[in-house]
């Protein structure tokens, strides 16, 4: 079916294409499908998720979320079946302050079990929204907890057992912004949607009819689900019209599996101000930042030159830290540059904010490695063999084996030799203690390792100090092949001998296939 494009739109489009060319932005070659042609436009206005409506009484804040199936028009004239939270795809931004007690009522209106997990939050295990807090169809789950941690860009997403990948892929995720007194009185841009911009970045693959394609190709099972279309806040090839000359972007890698090396098309520098769970001590100036699945970073971006340029992901020779050899090179999925979002600053108004010298970083004296009472070891493995067999040969055997049939108990993805078992508690942690976790990777691809209930500090990678962008509090850390990453974390006083917290790879297809374990705090 051909659709006539009105002349005006055509002219606007040509102008946009010209300015894109002027900005040095490379459009990908046009594949022949209708979808690819629709994708060319690169002119959809960026949509900002609404702030979730809340009722507040003093420190008591309450939200109502409803998970439902719907349709979303990512490409004009094509309806894509999606899942969403209070909207057709993704969810509203939840926002709360340190010291608030939040109540979140989550109603499940889809036909399968779901959950909503508050990623990055310190809270009692039964409020976490992990695989044990199942919400059956037509049921409402009430999560209630106190916000004890400082300002950060957290998020929330489905964590249904074996279904996290497909449910998040279809749209069950959103951002959860925390504020504290120091961040509120700071001089940082904080006018939501004006100079403080949430950016949930995802890659998706669409069929010609507009429907989402999931786990339809061989590598999806091993590498995790990688898409070919980039979305920001659910918008394909969006344009962000900058209203101010200094922007704070909350970059959130909401992808199922893909890592990015974010940069700008004109190589302009920017300042990283926060990691997953809080501010750095001071802004770090750089031209690119690596974010693995589930990681977040807040950046300050100066657009006072009022230009047009794009947020991109750089092509990498080898994914971060991967060796250059055979299988590892094959597993580099970022061989091509990705154009993600056009930023048009031509109309930006002067900002009253400046790049600060220092940041309102929250300190946690419990995160002193000398206080650690235990050091635990975690080995991430993929492949058919046991310990040591997760290397290229084990992988090859695995790819030819029964795993492709989708056997989830088959044990292709393991931590310390074991695949996730909901009925097995892997270890106990003592409340109010500090621990060091040593995470190593015996597989040929990088895995983002995530721990529930804590904000940790990265101590070192193979004995070397972490990158400056990783010096803030974190809840997810990338572990490259042949790397040992040490992290230090402190457990609060909540305890529950039967209800576990999860730790897992945040490549959702790896998690769903077993690269996950559980611990209780006693
Ligand atoms: Cu973002 Cu266990 O999850
Ligand atoms: Cu989590
Ligand atoms: Cu993984």
The domain tally of the chain equals 3
Task: Give yes or no for a contact between 374 and 298, defined as CB atoms under 8 angstroms apart.
Answer: no
CA end-to-end distance (rounded Å), the chain: 62
On whether both 267 and 406 belong to a single domain, the answer is: no
Q: The tokens 């932005």 sit on which residue?
A: 25
On whether both 327 and 428 belong to a single domain, the answer is: no
In this prediction, residue 469 carries a pLDDT of: 97
On whether both 308 and 378 belong to a single domain, the answer is: no
Q: pLDDT tens for residues 492-509?
A: 999 999 999 999 999 999
Range of the domain at 335: 196-344
What are phi and psi for residue 366, nearest 5 degrees?
Answer: -70, -15
Q: pLDDT tens for residues 20-44?
A: 444 444 444 333 455 555 555 678 9
Residues with Cβ within 6 A of ligand 1?
Answer: 117, 119, 157, 159, 294, 450, 452, 502, 504, 506
Q: pLDDT tens for residues 248-290?
A: 999 999 999 999 999 999 999 999 999 999 999 999 999 999 9
In this prediction, residue 35 carries a pLDDT of: 58
Residue 42 lies in a domain: no
Q: How far apart are CA 314 and CA 336, in angstroms?
A: 7
Rg (CA), the chain: 22
Residue 179 lies in a domain: yes
- Token reading at 364: 């946690």
Q: Which of 174-188, 310-324, 347-361 has the lowest mean pLDDT?
A: 310-324
Atom of ligand 1 minimally distant from the CA of 511? 2
On whether both 205 and 75 belong to a single domain, the answer is: no
In this prediction, residue 387 carries a pLDDT of: 47
Residue 356 lies in a domain: no
Atom of ligand 1 minimally distant from the CA of 516? 2
On whether both 134 and 99 belong to a single domain, the answer is: yes
Is the predicted pLDDT of residue 3 greater than 60, yes or no? no
In this prediction, residue 319 carries a pLDDT of: 46
On whether both 104 and 252 belong to a single domain, the answer is: no
On whether both 177 and 304 belong to a single domain, the answer is: no
Task: Give yes or no for a contact between 311 and 42, defined as CB atoms under 8 angstroms apart.
Answer: no
Atom of ligand 1 minimally distant from the CA of 119? 1
Q: pLDDT tens for residues 286-335?
A: 999 999 999 999 999 999 999 999 999 999 865 444 444 555 555 667 77
Residue 382 lies in a domain: yes
On whether both 255 and 284 belong to a single domain, the answer is: yes
pTM of the entire predicted model: 0.89
Chain centre distance of CA 395: 26
Q: How far apart are CA 154 and CA 488, in angstroms?
A: 19
On whether both 118 and 172 belong to a single domain, the answer is: yes
Residue 399 lies in a domain: yes
On whether both 405 and 488 belong to a single domain, the answer is: yes
What are phi and psi for residue 395, nearest 5 degrees?
Answer: -65, -45
Q: pLDDT tens for residues 404-451?
A: 334 444 489 999 999 999 999 999 999 999 999 999 999 999 999 999
On whether both 315 and 387 belong to a single domain, the answer is: no
SS3 of 478-508: the string is EECCCCEEEEEEECCCCCEEEEEEEEEECCH
In this prediction, residue 383 carries a pLDDT of: 86
For residue 399, give the H/E element and its range. helix 392-400
CATH of the domain at 215: 2.60.40.420
Is the predicted pLDDT of residue 70 greater than 80, yes or no? yes
Q: How far apart are CA 190 and CA 177, in angstroms?
A: 11
pLDDT > 70 in the chain, percent: 84
Tally: H helices and E strands in the chain = 8, 32
Residue 421 lies in a domain: yes
Q: Which residue has the higher pLDDT, 454 or 76?
A: 454
Residue 139 lies in a domain: yes
For residue 9, give the H/E element and its range. helix 7-22
Q: Which residue's alpha carbon is nearest to atom 3 within ligand 1?
A: 119
Residue 350 lies in a domain: no
Q: pLDDT tens for residues 381-404?
A: 998 654 444 444 444 444 433 343
Q: How far is the CA of 8 from the centre of ligand 3 (A)?
A: 47
In this prediction, residue 172 carries a pLDDT of: 98
Q: How far is the CA of 120 from the centre of ligand 2 (A)?
A: 5
Q: pLDDT tens for residues 183-230?
A: 999 999 999 999 999 999 999 999 999 999 999 998 999 999 999 999
Q: pLDDT tens for residues 460-472?
A: 999 999 999 999 9
On whether both 203 and 265 belong to a single domain, the answer is: yes
């Amino acid at each position: 079916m051909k659709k006539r494009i009105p002349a005006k739109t055509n002219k606007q489009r040509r102008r946009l294409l010209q300015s894109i060319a002027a900005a040095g932005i490379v459009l990908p070659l046009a594949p022949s499908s209708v979808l690819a042609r629709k994708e060319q436009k690169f002119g959809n206005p960026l949509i900002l998720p609404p702030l979730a409506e809340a009722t507040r009484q003093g420190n008591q804040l309450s939200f109502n979320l409803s998970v439902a199936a719907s349709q979303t028009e990512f490409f004009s004239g094509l309806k894509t079946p999606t899942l969403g939270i209070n909207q057709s795809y993704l969810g509203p931004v939840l926002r709360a302050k340190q010291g608030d007690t939040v109540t979140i009522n989550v109603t499940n209106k889809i036909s399968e079990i779901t959950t909503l997990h508050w990623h990055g939050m310190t809270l009692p295990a039964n409020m976490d929204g992990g695989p044990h807090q199942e919400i059956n169809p037509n049921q409402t789950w009430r999560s209630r907890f106190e916000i004890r941690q400082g300002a950060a860009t957290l998020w929330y997403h489905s964590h249904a057992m074996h279904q996290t990948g497909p449910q998040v892929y279809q749209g069950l995720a959103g951002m959860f912004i925390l504020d504290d007194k120091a961040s509120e009185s700071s001089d940082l841009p904080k006018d939501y949607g004006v100079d403080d911009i949430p950016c949930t970045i995802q890659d998706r693959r669409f069929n010609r009819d507009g429907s989402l394609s999931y786990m339809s190709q061989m590598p999806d099972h091993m590498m995790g689900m990688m898409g070919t279309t980039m979305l920001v806040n659910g918008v394909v090839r969006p344009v962000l019209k900058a209203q101010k000359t200094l922007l704070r972007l909350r970059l959130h890698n909401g992808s199922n599996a893909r890592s990015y090396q974010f940069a700008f098309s004109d190589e302009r520098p920017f300042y990283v101000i926060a990691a997953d769970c809080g501010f750095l001590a001071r802004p770090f100036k750089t031209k690119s930042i690596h974010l693995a699945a589930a990681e977040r970073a807040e950046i300050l971006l100066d657009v006072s030159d009022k230009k047009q340029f794009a947020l991109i992901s750089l092509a990498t020779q080898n994914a971060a830290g991967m060796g250059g050899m055979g299988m590892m090179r094959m597993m580099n999925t970022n061989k091509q540059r990705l154009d993600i979002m056009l930023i048009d600053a031509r109309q930006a108004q002067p900002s009253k904010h400046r790049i600060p010298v220092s940041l309102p970083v929250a300190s946690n004296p419990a995160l002193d490695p000398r206080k650690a009472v235990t050091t635990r070891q975690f080995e991430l493995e993929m492949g058919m063999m046991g310990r040591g067999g997760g290397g290229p040969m084990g992988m090859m055997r695995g790819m030819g084996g029964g795993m492709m049939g989708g056997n989830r108990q088959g044990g292709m993805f393991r931590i310390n030799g074991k695949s996730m078992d909901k009925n097995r508690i892997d270890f106990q942690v003592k409340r109010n203690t500090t621990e060091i976790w040593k995470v190593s990777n015996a597989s040929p691809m990088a895995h983002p390792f995530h721990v529930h209930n804590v904000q940790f500090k990265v101590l070192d990678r193979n004995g070397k100090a972490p990158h400056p962008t990783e010096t803030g509090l974190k809840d997810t850390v990338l572990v490259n092949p042949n790397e040992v990453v040490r992290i230090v974390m402190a457990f609060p006083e909540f305890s529950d001998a039967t209800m576990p917290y999860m730790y897992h790879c945040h490549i959702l297809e790896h998690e769903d296939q077993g690269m996950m374990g559980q611990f209780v705090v006693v």
